[in-house]
DNA sequence: GACCCTTTTGATGCATGCAACATAGCATCG
DNA sequence: CGATGCTATGTTGCATGCATCAAAAGGGTC
């Protein structure tokens, strides 16, 4: 959905990154340069460049002279990333409200309408992907490329795919979430940046709570990290 | 000031990056791999890895088979980055207010007190560095490592050094700025996250305006930006 | 004199080989 | 039997050489 206009051949970086973010590789799994080189039929050199960049993105950890491992963010990092997610998406909502009519606004309208159907029908799988679309479209609609980049990096680090599946299992959460989406959309259309930002942040915060609570009892215990 | 506790030998990445962010190299200047390799007495391979990462950070542009060039953000990108700066520093202020007493809070107190002196004395050079300290200390004090990382990347992209020198030339801006710093510090100590965030964002926005307005006509002509 | 084609040059892109090091397994010794 | 040192192996770190390609320089023609 995000590369519908043009799909240039995916970069080696993107291909390897998607192997990680898609969950194809388990966290902690070692990533050998030679095996990756063989798999993608290239030399070790371009593989190394990619791995260095993925380390910079926080997806993997290169232990010198030992090996490369898929990194799993600990609980503290997840909380930190969600704090960032909250303000970034809040900024996106505010910017979009200030911007006024744009193609992404129409897309949002469609997504919200469709997600209301699926959430009421209890189709959580469909709704989950529509949630992704909603947030991504909103960020795109902010018309701020640097925001888009930072947001993409953040979502990659979260390996968001791995988390969302859990968050919507809660009965009633999908319906609440859908209602919040509708509120945000209305405020954007009303050109209310402050309201849109505030509501968006509350929405992200609520979703975060839903996502973090079931894993441990205490919400933000920030236990020992590293 | 940022590596007072421990200064491990700066990595190649940091050394090359600082060559760019320090202004030692002009934007548009070509960066040859071989010349860098000779300068740092290493092979082209590690240089290439560093350049790839700097490209990911947005500092340079690698035109395949042509060369590597220092990238200057155009006006639109600068605006985008400052929008991000606003919400990130706002978040930092809010988190610090929620956090309560911490070493960074004491540091802030000292910085603000010292900067009030220099701003009233009209010592803009000293005040400029204290402004840097204020913002950096605030971000550090938020106790969110991911925020620190994103903020560092953002400031690198802005090549902030190159901009700040201009912003404080405006008569009276330093005094206003100093007063805003004091307000923010008070709200943090009062544990008022919302007030601290709001004031911080207003402060960043005001500084941004000061910085962007005067250079409209001459500095950034916004030539074709590829 | 202007334009186009060819050549040359200089840069990156990648493959490969060797060196350095961390780790695990094993033999040896107390 | 446990601890310790040694060796084997697998990994990354880096240097170097060749292939590839883009852009500029040069020569020829109209």
The count of other CB atoms within 10 Å of the CB of residue A125 is 10
**For position B125, what pLDDT does the model report?**
84
* Beta strands A67-70; A60-63: pairing state: antiparallel
Q: Could you give the number of structural domains in chain B? A: 2
The predicted-structure confidence for B144-172, as pLDDT tens digits, reads as follows: 999 999 999 999 888 765 665 565 567 67
Domain housing A58? 13-70
Q: Token pair for residue A199?
A: 């509501």
Distance of alpha carbon B92 from alpha carbon B143, whole angstroms: 8
Nearest C-alpha neighbor of A15 from the set A38, A35, A36? A36
Percentages of chain B per state (helix, strand, coil), in multiples of 5: 70, 5, 30
- Nearest chain B residue (CA) to A76: B144
CA distance A153 to chain B (A): 10
d(CA B46, CA B33): 10
| Closest residue in B to A147 (Cα–Cα) | B84
Same domain, B189 and B79: yes
Q: Which residues of A touch B53 (CB under 8 A)?
A: 52-53, 56
> Could you tell me which chain A residue has the CA closest to the CA of B142?
A80
Q: Same domain, yes or no, for A200 and A150?
A: yes
- For A107-128, the pLDDT digits (tens) are 999 999 999 999 889 888 888 8
Query: What is the rounded average pLDDT of the residues A158-176?
Result: 70
A53/A47 Cα distance (integer angstroms): 10
Domain-embedded: residue A160:
yes
- Kindly list the residues from chain A whose CB atom is less than 8 angstroms away from the CB atom of residue B150: 84, 150, 154
Average pLDDT on B21-45 reads 89
Instruction: Look at the alpha carbons of A90, A144, B59, A155 in this order and tell me if their dihedral is positive or negative.
Output: positive
pLDDT for B171-192, tens place per residue? 678 888 999 999 999 999 999 9
pLDDT on residue A122 = 85
CA distance A21 to A132: 15
Query: pLDDT digits over A176-216, tens only?
Result: 899 999 999 999 999 999 999 999 999 999 988 887 775 43
Q: Is the pLDDT of residue B216 over 60?
A: no
Percent share of chain A, pLDDT over 90 = 62
A34 CA – C29 C1', rounded, Å:
39
Question: Using an 8 Å Cβ cutoff, are B213 and B79 in contact?
Answer: no
A71 vs A172, higher pLDDT: A71
Boundary of a domain, candidates A24, A44, A70: A70
- A95 and B83 within 8 Å at the Cβ level: the answer is yes
Mean pLDDT of chain A: 86
- Tell me: do B120 and B65 sit in the same domain: no
Chain A with chain B: Cβ pairs closer than 8 A: 67
**Residue B194 pLDDT:** 97
Task: Tell me the residue length of chain A.
Answer: 226
d(CA A83, CA A1) in angstroms, rounded, equals 26
The set of residues, in sequence order, having a beta carbon less than 8 Å from that of A174 and lying 6+ positions away, is A119, A122, A124, A127, A168
Domain membership of residue A220 (yes or no) is: no
Per-residue model confidence (pLDDT) at position A109:
95
Same domain? For B183 and B114 the reply is yes
Please state, in angstroms and rounded to a whole number, the distance separating the CA atoms of residues A105 and A101. Answer: 6
Of A49, A87, A91, which is closest to B49 when you measure between CB atoms?
Answer: A49
Question: CA torsion sign, B128 to B158 to B216 to A101?
Answer: negative
Look at residue B90 and tell me whether its pLDDT is greater than 80.
yes
Task: Give the nearest partner residue to A56 out of B53, B91, B157, using CB atoms.
Answer: B53
Residue contact B88–A87, C-beta within 8 A: yes
B1 is a domain residue: no
Q: What is the CATH number of the domain that holds A37?
A: 1.10.10.10
Residue A119 in contact with residue A178, Cβ under 8 Å?
A: yes
Looking at A30, A53, A70, which one is the last position of a domain?
Answer: A70
A152 with A177, same domain: the answer is yes
Is residue A114 one of the residues assigned to a domain?
Answer: yes
Distance from the Cα of A90 to chain B's closest Cα (Å) equals 9
Whether nucleic acid strand D comes within 7 Å of the CB of A98, the answer is no
The nt closest to A37 (CA vs C1′) is C15
Of the ranges A43-47, A129-133, A212-216, B118-122, which is most confident? A43-47
Contacts of B64 (CB under 8 A, 6+ apart): none
The burial of B12, by beta-carbon neighbours within 10 Å (0-12 exposed, 13-18 middle, 19 or more buried), is given as middle
Find the angle CA(A58)-CA(A60)-CA(A63) to the nearest 5 degrees: 115
- Residue A80 and residue A182 share a domain: yes
Q: Considering all CA atoms of chain A, what is the largest pairwise distance in Å, rounded to the nearest integer?
A: 57
């Amino acid at each position: 959905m995000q590369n519908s206009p043009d799909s240039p051949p995916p970069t080696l970086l993107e291909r390897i990154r998607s192997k990680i973010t898609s969950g194809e590789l388990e966290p902690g799994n070692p990533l050998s340069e030679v095996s990756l080189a063989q798999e993608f039929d290239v030399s070790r050199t371009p593989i190394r460049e990619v791995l260095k960049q993925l380390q910079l993105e926080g997806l993997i950890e290169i232990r010198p002279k030992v090996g490369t491992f898929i990194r799993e963010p600990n609980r503290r990092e997840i909380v930190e990333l969600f704090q960032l997610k909250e303000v970034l998406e809040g900024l996106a909502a505010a910017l979009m409200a200030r911007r006024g009519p744009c193609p992404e606004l129409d897309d949002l309208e469609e997504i919200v309408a469709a997600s209301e159907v699926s959430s009421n029908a209890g189709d959580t799988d469909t709704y989950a992907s529509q949630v992704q679309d909603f947030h991504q479209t909103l960020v795109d609609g902010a018309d701020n490329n640097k925001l888009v980049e930072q947001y993409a990096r953040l979502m990659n680090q979260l390996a968001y795919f791995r988390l969302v599946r859990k968050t919507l299992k809660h009965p009633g959460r999908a319906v609440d979430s859908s209602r919040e989406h509708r509120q945000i959309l209305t405020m954007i259309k009303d050109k209310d940046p402050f309201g849109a930002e505030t509501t968006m942040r509350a929405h992200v915060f609520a979703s975060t709570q839903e996502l973090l609570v079931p894993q441990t009892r205490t919400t933000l215990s920030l236990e020992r990290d590293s």
